[in-house]
Amino acid sequence: MAILSRISLLAAVALCCLRNGVVDVEGSHDVYQELMSVPAEVVDSKYRTQFHFQPPRNWINDPNGPMYYNGIYHLFYQYNPYGAVWGNIVWAHSVSTDMINWKALEPAIYPSKPFGVNGCWSGSATILPGNKPAILYTGIDPQNRQVQNIAFPKNLSDPYLREWVKPDYNPIIAPVNGINASAFRDPTTAWHGPDGHWRLVIGSKRKHRGMAIMYRSRDFIHWIRAKHPLHSANGTGMWECPDFYPVATQGKLGVDTSEYGAGLKYVLKASLDLTRYEYYTLGYYLRDVDKYVPDGTSADDGSGLRYDYGNFYASKTFYDAGKKRRVLLGWSNESDSRQDDVSKGWAGIQIIPRVVLLDSNERQLIQWPIKELETLRGKLVSVQKKKIKSGGSLEISGIMASQADVEVAFELSSLEKAEPFDASWTDPQKLCELKGADVKGGVGPFGLLALASANRQEQTAVFFRIFKGLNSFVALMCHDPSKSSLRPGLSKPIYGGWVDVDIQKNGKLSLRSLIDHSVVESFGAEGRTCITSRVYPSLAVGNAAHLFVFNNGEEDVKVSELKAWEMRKPLMNGI
């Protein structure tokens, strides 16, 4: 009782002070001073994810320094050891041999020296010659400047690399010569050039122009700023967590960050503090002049391609030398209130690690959950060759639908009734808002209703819609959680992205959704369009959650195959 009343009192404090009590630190994080160090005494398990990455309690945000080293995957992440809102940030540390089962260790990097006394923010790992890992991260110094620091493992023979040393010569990069000390953070993994110099970029901005400021170093400790940023884009504001890496135009293998040559294209990703969404472009890296040039196939202003068109931010990739693949991690935050976070005792998850490849059309990336996730697949139910008539639906029963991996392939017999596409529809999210799951269409909406209550008062709809454009068909993928919960006061944004497939030629569309209590993570058309949503049903909880296939279009669609697995729970940081 005492605990409960204490928490609700604090919740009331948060409510009353939302408007005037929230301090914005460097435009990056809402700071709830009163809640920052309130230990989670109650950890609510109703909405906890079971196979997504979570520590036992408290706030998490950005994944940091992911790496594969001597057979072990390391994931560090921004963590508040003392509460369920942002604050007191350290680098928490977990290790794994499959990126699915995780073991929690003690925090690896935390404020202890002046160059990070006010915070140890995001950064990346680089494996140096001689198989020596190094971490570069942003520290907040006594003047509240954002500076870049280096840390090394204390004992390379410790297979878990538990302890990290921050040499006293830090910071190794300071915000001087016109760099805004409040907008200078998140160093990337470094890459090595033929001139013997390492290179890395750091997120920044000048006025409205977001940029990736470049540095070079021969010894990894003394860094010199390059004359020009690697790239910048006006109107995008502060770039957080930049990421820059090559992808192969042929084959299914990932490419190490330092590789260079024919058959490679480059990805530059920025997380935009202005919108709290990310975007990326594909392009060329002119190594002689250290310039990145987008290839112009997508918008370079924040409105273009995204890894994920939903709740997804601060992502980072790393090259997994063990399995020769590039793996993406990202943070998905809560969509309930701060008060809910405090009473849940936790906030934030990491998405399921995804393999990143270049699409054969070279216009976008493709992402797919790492194969290791499939080791959690338990009981299977499947459906073959089932027609879903216009206005019809099909319940998929026999598994716990709140913890499932669902793969479905749809066949479209005809596109005749597709709605005409209006050229003014330039924003897929707005189009999904305009045409939600309940708005009847020609071809679609068809897809899944995840985390649904028996009578579908609650449902999170994941679906496609096909439009007839002037010269070709346009496919749209949406997440519509507007009916995801009867609970008031939740944020339930509708999300959407275009699906770059030749639907006329294929006549098929596939969908995979990872459903995990308070998250639905979906992969359309083999991973061409991905969307993640956080939802908090009040009825469709645990064993009471249902799963349906639905079709609200005039045209019938066929489920050529559906497989739904109940997912087992991995070892997750000791819980």
Ligand X SMILES: *[C@@H]1O[C@H](CO)[C@@H](O)[C@H](O)[C@H]1NC(C)=O
- Tell me which residues are annotated as active site: 62
Count H helices, E strands: the chain?
Answer: 4, 39
The residues, any chain, with a CB within 8 Å of residue 565's CB and separated by 6 or more, are 377, 378, 379, 380, 399, 404, 405, 406
| C-alpha span between 245 and 260 (Å, rounded) | 10
Side chain identity at residue 356, one-letter code: V
The residue within the footprint of ligand X, chosen from 6, 252, 276, 389 (CB under 6 A), is 276
* Contacts (Cβ under 8 Å, ≥6 apart) of 222: 172
Q: Is the peptide bond before 175 cis (omega within 30 degrees of 0)?
A: no
Binding segment toward ligand X, per CB under 6 A, in 74-82, 139-147, 233-241, 288-296: 233-241
Using the contact rule CB under 6 A, the part of the chain among 63-71, 150-158, 433-441, 456-464 near ligand X is: 150-158
Among 180, 393, 457, 538, binds ligand X (CB under 6 A): 180
Q: How far is the CB of 28 from ligand X (least distance, A)?
A: 8
Distance of CA 532 to the CA centre of its chain: 8
Sheet with strand 264-272: strands edge to edge: 239-248, 264-272, 277-286, 291-294
Q: Which residues pair with 475 in a beta bridge?
A: 466, 499
Q: Which is nearer to ligand X, 62 or 405 (CB)?
A: 62
303 binds ligand X (CB under 6 A): no
Residues 308-327 contacting ligand X, CB under 6 A: 313
Looking at 8, 33, 97, 155, which residue binds ligand X (CB under 6 A)?
155
What is the smallest separation between the CB atom of 165 and ligand X, expressed in angstroms? 12
Residue 335 touches ligand X, criterion: CB under 6 A: yes
Q: CB under 8 Å to 288, separation ≥6 — which residues?
A: none
Check binding of 491 to ligand X (CB under 6 A).
yes
Count residues near ligand X (CB under 6 A): 17
| Residue 110 Cβ vs ligand X, minimum distance, rounded to whole Å | 19
Gap between the Cα atoms of 566 and 376, Å rounded: 8
Which listed range, 176-184, 378-386, 475-483, 497-505, lies at the site for ligand X (CB under 6 A)?
Answer: 176-184
Which residues from 24-43 bind ligand X, rule CB under 6 A?
Answer: 26-27
Task: Please report how close the Cβ of residue 138 comes to ligand X at its closest, in angstroms.
Answer: 14
Q: Is 67 in contact with 127 (CB distance < 8 Å)?
A: yes
Nearer to ligand X, 348 or 445 (CB): 348
Nearest to ligand X of 278, 320 (CB atom): 278
Binding window for ligand X (CB under 6 A); candidates: 154-162, 192-200, 225-233, 521-529? 154-162
Q: What are phi and psi of 513, to 5 degrees?
A: -125, 130
Q: What CA–CA distance (Å, rounded) separates 508 from 531?
A: 19
Region of residue 241 (left: phi > 0; alpha: psi -120 to 50; beta: else): left
Spatial distance between the Cα atoms of 27 and 399, rounded to a whole number of angstroms: 44
State which residue, 256 or 340, has the beta carbon closest to ligand X. Answer: 340
Q: How far apart are CA 320 and CA 69, in angstroms?
A: 9
Of the candidates 78, 42, 44, the residue with the CA atom closest to the CA atom of residue 59? 78
State which of residues 88, 234, 303, 482 lies at the interface with ligand X (CB under 6 A).
234
Determine if 208 is a binding residue for ligand X (CB under 6 A). yes
CB of 105 to ligand X, least distance (A): 13
What is the C-alpha separation between 502 and 46, in angstroms, rounded?
41
**Residue 155 or 375: which CB sits closer to ligand X?**
155
- The CA R_g of the chain, rounded to the nearest whole Å, is 23
In the complex, the smallest distance separating the C-beta of residue 153 from ligand X, rounded to whole angstroms, is: 10
Q: How far is the CB of 183 from ligand X (least distance, A)?
A: 4
- Tell me which of 183, 431, 437, 451 binds ligand X, using CB under 6 A: 183
| 78 sits near ligand X (criterion: CB under 6 A) | no
Q: Applying CB under 6 A, does 144 fall inside the site for ligand X?
A: no
Least Cβ distance, residue 276 to ligand X (angstroms): 4
Compare residues 88 and 390 and give the one whose CB is closer to ligand X.
Answer: 88
Interacting residue ranges for ligand X, rule: CB under 6 A? 26-27, 155, 157-158, 180, 182-183, 208, 234-235, 238, 276, 313, 333, 335, 491
